[in-house]
Amino acid sequence: MARTGPTSTARRTLLWLAAIIIACTLAVGGGVLAGATTWAPKLGLDLEGGTQMILAPKVEGAGNITSEQLDQAVSIIRQRVDGSGVSEAQISTEGGRNVVVSMPGKPTDEERDLIKASANMSFRPVIATTGVASGAVAEADRTAEANLPVPTAAPVDASDINWVDAALFKEFEATSCIAPLTDRPTTSDPAKPIVSCEPETGVKYILGPVEIPGKWIKNATYGLAAGANGATTNQWSVNLTLEKPEGADAFKAVTQRLNSKYLINANDPQARFAIVLDDSVISAPSSMAVITDGQSSITGQFTEASAKSLADKLKFGSLPISFEIQSEVQISATLGLQQLEMGLLAGLIGLLLVVVYSLFQYRALGIVTILSLVIAGVLTYLAIVLLGWAENYRLSLAGVAGIIVAIGQTADSFIVYFERVRDELRDGRGLVAAVENGWGRAKRTILASKAVNILASLVLYFVSVGSVKGFAFTLGLTAVADLIVVFMFTHPTLQLLARTKFFGEGHAFSGLDPKQLGAIPLYRGAGRLRTQQETLEVVKGKNARAAGEAERRQTIAERRLAAKESQMAGTSAAKAAQPESSDDSKENN
Amino acid sequence: MKSFATFGNELYTGERSYEFVGKRKVWFGIMGILVLLSILFPLLGGGFNFGIDFRGGSQFTISDVAHKDVSIGEKAVEAAAPGTVAVVTNIAGMTMQVQTDRLSDNDTLKVKDALKEAYGVTEDHITSTYVGPSWGQDVSRQAIIGFIVFVLLATVLMALYFRTWRMSIAAVVGLLVVMVVTAGVYGASNFEVTPSAIIGFLTILSYSLYDTVVVFDKIRENTADITKSTRRTFAEEVNLAVNQTLVRSINTMMVAVLPVGSILFIGALLLGAGTLRDLSLALFIGIIVSTFSTIFVAAPLYSWLREREPELAAQAKKVRQHRATAAAATADAV
């Protein structure tokens, strides 16, 4: 029988859809059991409450900022925010220009200043170091008050031990550079010595005043170091260029002083200078030569990645980027919750109205609409939860609005489809044929119109800033969910329903009653077919134009089929389900 | 229901037909007046009422206040940041909104604390927004870029799909009418233009073209073999397509407007100003205007762009001859 084909395909498609939904649900369920995610979607700040700052980078003097510099800026802000103990802060770039910092709760004034401040890079000479990863000295073992160092004279240079006074030494002993870390300031007076840590190694330092400020760094690159004979070695190095003349001159003086100590004792900590970013040491090389031309290279235990990282930091440090707050929103949890509740309420009312309208317009067919909407909703929900888990996607209020707006646009696919089926019924086709033909036409329209929707959401997503992004994202997501539902649920379901008695015989409440649609069907069940006589009567009758239209729209194949069927009246008529496209319809002149 | 179905049947067969194409001068005239008004109103009325995101400034929303007294807020702002003009409004229920001129971001937080004290609410009942002067420009610049990129891509997409650039042109003109009229309603009604309203506008872009594509697809179908037909002229086929999809247009508009209307209702009534209200307002107007624009502007315009093509003009002549012969034959028979 011809009818087993579409039926089994429809069943198989529905099973596939069920399999997809079950697989996604199981994935989320597994994530919940493993404690990796929750059943509820992750909420954005505007719904959960919290602070969102949108920062625009500002480069002193120079104009534009490259995306690499912006990425560096973001990683530095991230270090600062993480270091200050704010949990769950999200930092991202937006549109290649702005940095968005989102965090739950409210940042303190210090935290805000920290985020806004420009990167603070400088070179300071090492005065003393523990040499190994060090925590705080135990209270009992700390140097007694009486034995604390007292400067004997004014310091003569930046490496002078006379910078270390009692207070600084006490701070040095109390500071821990290994977990639990001591909270330390990230900006300090460049003219004074500081206690600092090297986060990568946990080594603790006392550093002298700033000798080379970051702005004197002209460029930094990395590559394989050249050996004594000029041949390339397989050791990675970072090549540093300083601004002339001031940077180069100052560096010459520093390296002269440090190198003389290095020549006496290669392990003298005072032969080293520290590269300091936000008061943390990122590297502390020894001065192995006097650098007279401002061109130096730093070698050591670098891998390619660590050499690149140091070069990037040096380069970034040379650009004093600070941030201007473009917009700062502190949303109270109460308002967020209120908005979420209202948003959901609005969605529910909207959904209910659509349901009522569909039932009114399409009767029993409206139930297919409702089920389709429910499935689209389930798919959207699963996608949002999964994206929240995998990509940390957070649903914002604009996103919720996007979903509500999508209810209407999703339902429209069904309307386009159902109206096409009705048109086919009006042409006098049987329901099974009408569903197949209607689908063939509706499919094209739905694909073309959804392409417009998806195009719009893609453009909005990639071009826009702020809350527009969240909105565009859900709008695109629901458009995709809609396509899945129309293809994998609505159409197969209708294919199956068309073969039921209720719909197939065009019950008055099925929404597909040919009588109400003003058509006389080709095939009227129970093996009865429209006779030639009836066809003529129809043409003469009230629906003359409808029938004419139907005839005009028949394909050659259909016409032949109709002719054959009228000869073989009484045999199966389900063959009328011939796919038709407008391109092959011929005029019946 | 029954009458609506009958209405649909009659539209489908052509028994009942509205002259969307035939009376296009009337429709274009009405739309032209609307567009003109939409441009004139904001111009004469002093332009758009740009929200805080475009002007720059600070805004505070205080939920669940004990007293809805406006002066409490004004005094609190004056005390925290002397010389600042504050606009305090009760936006909905027990929610107050305070807007001030540009404060520094630090002052914004000071005012926030003062308002918190004054209205006697806790930290989690007050929301503050500080917007720098260039943020709104950023949002609108990106929105305009998005608009242009989308229209260009959609024009190409439609031209490829329909295989005629005239449909793209007609659809885009229809879209522009929607944008101008929606913006005009905003300008005339003095609603605040916020980034959320911009999101709404951008969504209308998508909705308007979406709506047009559905109707145009039917037109494409009806006119596919037009040159071989003597039944209807091109303009008549276009008109029939619009009539045949009229039920779909009405249903689609209703189904799209219902959820948006409920957001608008909830947003305006229960939440007051905010994302939901601004977004849905633009959408509400836009969806309705889009439906009308497709029917009364885009489709007749497409017909007008094509019907003077020599091939189609010849076909129209053939149709008229054919009819004259048929009429003569009927007259003879009688």
B190 — phi, psi (to 5°)? 65, 25
pLDDT tens-digit readout, A361-400: 888 888 888 899 899 999 999 998 888 888 777 788 778 8
Contact yes or no for B213 and A342 at CB 8 A:
no
Residues B45 and B112 in one domain: no
Question: Would you call B260 and A405 a contact, using CB atoms and an 8 Å cutoff?
Answer: yes
d(CA A433, CA A580): 10
Is B9 a member of any domain? Answer: no
Yes or no: say if A411 and A354 are a contact pair by the CB < 8 Å rule: yes
Beta bridge partners of B58: B100, B130
* pLDDT of res. A587: 39
CATH number of this structure's domain A4-43+332-504, picked from the four choices 1.20.1640.10, 1.10.10.10, 1.10.1370.30, 1.10.40.30: 1.20.1640.10
Query: Is residue A210 classed as helix, strand or coil in its secondary structure?
Result: coil
Higher pLDDT, A5 or A259: A259
Contact A382, A475 (CB under 8 A): no
pLDDT digits (tens, 9 = 90+) for B169-206: 999 999 999 999 988 888 877 777 887 788 788 888 88
SS (H, E, C) B274-309: CHHHHHHHHHHHHHHHHHHHHHHHHHHHHHHHHHCC
Domain of residue B155, residue span = 16-49+136-325
The CATH number corresponding to A50-118+323-330 among 3.40.50.300, 3.60.20.10, 1.10.3720.10, 3.30.70.3400 equals 3.30.70.3400
Rounded Cα distance, B198 and A472, in Å: 12
Q: Does B267 touch chain A (CB under 8 A)?
A: yes
**pLDDT given at position A278:** 77
Rg (CA), chain A: 37
Residue A282, pLDDT score = 83
The tens digit of pLDDT for each residue in A353-371 reads 888 888 888 888 888 888 9
Unique residue bearing structure tokens 């009688």 = B334
Q: Does B7 touch chain A (CB under 8 A)?
A: no
With CB atoms and an 8 Å threshold, state whether B195 touches A345.
no
Contact B230/A589, CB-based, under 8 Å? Answer: yes
Which residue has 């003095």 as its token pair? Answer: B190
- Output the average pLDDT for chain A: 77
> In angstroms, what separates the C-alpha of A524 from chain B's closest C-alpha?
20
Examine the domain organization and report whether B123 and B210 are in the same domain: no
d(CA B86, CA A201): 53
Q: For residue A346, which residues of chain B lie inside 8 Å, CB to CB?
A: 259, 262-263, 265-267, 276
Q: Does residue B69 belong to any structural domain of this protein?
A: yes
Check pLDDT > 80 for residue A241. Answer: yes
Mutate to test the interface with B, among A460, A554, A587 (most CBs of B within 10 A): A460
pLDDT at A18 over 90: yes
Q: How far apart are CA A547 and CA A426, in angstroms?
A: 8
More confident residue, A88 or B6: B6
Q: Is the pLDDT of residue A3 over 50?
A: no
Pairing of strands A50-59, A121-133: unpaired
Q: Do the domain assignments include residue B181? A: yes
- Which residue in the block uniquely carries the two structure tokens 């930091």? A313
Residues B113, B125 contacting (CB under 8 angstroms):
no
Q: Which two tokens stand for residue B284?
A: 């509400």
* Of B22, B188, B282, B54, residue with least CA distance to A405: B282
Which residue reads 């937006």 in tokens? Answer: A94
Residues B191 and B297 in one domain: yes
The torsion region of residue A381 among left (phi > 0), alpha (psi -120 to 50) and beta comes to: alpha
Joined tokens for residue B178: 């929607």
If you search the block for the tokens 């002259």, which residue do you land on? B19
CA angle (B217, A372, A508) in 5-degree steps: 80
Residues B66 and B157 in one domain: no
Q: B268 and B213 in one domain?
A: yes
From the list A452, A552, A582, which residue is nearest B210 (CB)?
A452
- In DSSP terms, A232 is beta-bridged to A226
Tell whether the model's pLDDT for residue A443 goes beyond 50. Answer: yes
Place of tokens 């120079």: A62
Ranges of each domain in chain A? 4-43+332-504, 50-118+323-330, 120-317, 532-584
| Residue B159 contacts A, CB cutoff 8 Å | no
Statement: residue A251 has pLDDT above 80:
yes
Q: For residue A133, give how far its alpha carbon lies from the nearest alpha carbon of chain B (Å).
A: 39
In this prediction, what percent of chain A has a pLDDT beyond 90? 6
Which residues in chain A are closer than 8 Å to B210, comparing Cβ atoms? 409, 412, 449-450, 452-453
Q: Is it true that A4-43+332-504 and A50-118+323-330 share their CATH fold?
A: no
A330 contacts B112? CB cut-off 8 A: yes
Full DSSP string of A123-173: EEEEEEEEEEE--PPPGGGSPPGGGS----S--SSTT-GGG--HHHHHHHH
> In angstroms, rounded to a whole number, what is the distance separating the alpha carbons of residues A411 and B299?
23
A93-140 pLDDT, tens digit per residue, is 776 677 888 877 777 777 777 677 666 788 899 988 888 888 888 888
Final residue before a domain boundary, out of B131, B149, B180: B131
Q: What is the pLDDT of residue A547?
A: 45
Task: With CB atoms and an 8 Å threshold, state whether A349 touches B257.
Answer: no
**Shortest CA distance from B148: residue in chain A:** A459
Instruction: Examine residue B1 and state whether it is found in any structural domain, yes or no.
Output: no
Inter-chain contact B196–A353, Cβ cutoff 8 Å? Answer: no
Are residues B286 and B145 part of one domain?
A: yes
Average pLDDT of B26-48? 84
Classify residue B4: in a domain, yes or no: no
Strands of the sheet containing A321-331, edge to edge, are A90-94, A98-103, A50-59, A321-331, B126-131, B57-62, B95-100, B86-92
Q: How far apart are the CA of B142 and the nearest CA of chain A, in angstroms?
A: 5
- The partner residues of A282 in beta bridges, in order of sequence, read none
Mutate to test the interface with B, among A99, A327, A455 (most CBs of B within 10 A): A327
For residue B7 the two structure tokens come to: 């209405």
Amino acid A352 reads L
Does B233 lie in the same domain as B178?
yes
Q: pLDDT-based confidence at A559, cuts 50/70/90?
A: low
Statement to judge: residues B103 and B145 lie in one domain: no
Of A325, A338, A347, the CB nearest to B130: A325
Instruction: Give strand pairing partners of B331.
Output: none
Instruction: Give the Cα separation of B163 and B181 in Å (integer).
Output: 29
The pTM (predicted TM-score) of the whole model is: 0.69
Question: pLDDT grade, residue B333 (50/70/90)?
Answer: low
- Gap between the Cα atoms of A86 and A80, Å rounded: 9
Tally of domains within chain B: 2
Between vectors from CA A391 to CA A386 and to CA A393, what angle results, nearest 5°?
80
Residue B115 belongs to domain with CATH number: 3.30.70.600
- State the best of B199, B232, B315 to mutate against chain A, taking most chain A CBs within 10 Å: B199
- Angle subtended at Cα B98 by Cα B95 and Cα B100, rounded to the nearest 5 degrees: 170
Bridge partners (DSSP) of residue A99 are A55, A93
DSSP per-residue string spanning A250-278: HHHHHHHHHHHHHHH-TT-GGGBEEEEET
Residue B123 at interface with chain A, using a CB cutoff of 8 Å:
yes
Q: Which of B131, B158, B189 is the last residue of a domain?
A: B131
Same domain, B254 and B319: yes
CA distance B2 to chain A (A): 7
B149 and B286 in a common domain: yes
**Cross-chain residue pair B61–A468, CB shorter than 8 Å:** no
Among A255, A257, A134, smallest CA distance to A195 is for A134
| Closest approach of B29 to chain A, Cα-based (Å) | 29
Predicted confidence at residue A489, as pLDDT, reads 92
Taking a contact as any Cβ pair under 8 Å apart, which residues of chain B between 72 and 101 contact chain A? none
CB contact under 8 A, A329 and B128: yes
Q: What is the 3-state secondary structure (H, E, C) of chain B?
A: CHHHHHHHHHHHHCCCCCCCCCCHHHHHHHHHHHHHHHHHHHHHCCCCEECHHHHCEEEEEECCCCCCCHHHHHHHHHHHCCCCCEEEEEEECCEEEEEECCCCHHHHHHHHHHHHHHHCCCHHHEEEEEECCCHHHHHHHHHHHHHHHHHHHHHHHHHHHHCCHHHHHHHHHHHHHHHHHHHHHHHHHCCEECHHHHHHHHHHHHHHHHHHHHHHHHHHHHCCCHHHCCCCCHHHHHHHHHHHCHHHHHHHHHHHHHHHHHHHHHHHHHHCCCHHHHHHHHHHHHHHHHHHHHHHHHHHHHHHHHHCCHHHHHHHHHHHHHHHHHHHHHHHHC
Distances (CA, A) of A200 to A7, A276, A284: 65, 13, 12
Give Cα separations from A475 to B51, B112, B269, B289 (angstroms): 25, 34, 25, 21
Cα pseudo-dihedral A53, A57, A60, A63, rounded to 10:
-150
Between A54-63, A528-537, B282-291, the lowest mean confidence (pLDDT) is in A528-537
For tokens 């009818």, the residue is A3
| Tally of CA atoms within 13 A in the half-sphere of A463 that contains its CB | 20
Whether B199 sits inside 8 A of A471 (CB atoms) is yes
User: A4 to each of A141, A366, B96, B246, how far by Cα in Å?
Assistant: 88, 26, 65, 36
What's the pLDDT score for residue A228?
A: 65
Most confident of the following: A58-62, B2-6, B39-43, B89-93:
B39-43
What average pLDDT does this structure show over A569-582?
A: 42
* Residues in chain B closer than 8 A to A464 (CB atoms): 139, 142-143, 146, 202
Examine the domain organization and report whether B73 and B213 are in the same domain. Answer: no
Closest chain B residue to the Cα of A347, Cα to Cα: B259
Residues 6+ apart with CB under 8 A from B298: B170, B171, B173, B174, B212, B215, B216
| CB-nearest partner of A327 from B131, B263, B274 | B131
- pLDDT at residue A61 in the model: 58
Instruction: Tell me which of B103, B131, B159 is where a domain ends.
Output: B131
Taking the Cβ of residue B12 and every Cβ of chain A, the question of whether any pair is shorter than 8 Å is answered with yes
CB atoms B209 and A452 under 8 Å = yes
Tell me the average pLDDT across A223-244.
79
Query: Which residues are paired to A236 by β-bridges?
Result: A224
The nearest alpha carbon in chain A to B259 belongs to: A350
A contact test, residue of B254, B281, B285, B318 with most A CBs within 10 A: B254
How close, in Å, is residue B38 to chain A by CA atoms? 25
DSSP structural state of residue A487 = I
Contacts with B126 (C-beta within 8 Å, 6 or more apart), sequence order: A330, A332, B60, B61, B62, B63, B112, B115, B116, B119
Q: How many Å apart are CA A559 and CA B238, to the nearest integer? A: 26
Q: How far is B44 from chain A (nearest CA, A)?
A: 30
Beta strand ranges found along A278-388 (DSSP E): 280-283, 295-299, 321-331
Do B156 and B218 belong together in one domain?
yes
**Is residue A282 within 8 Å of residue A312, measured between CB atoms?**
no
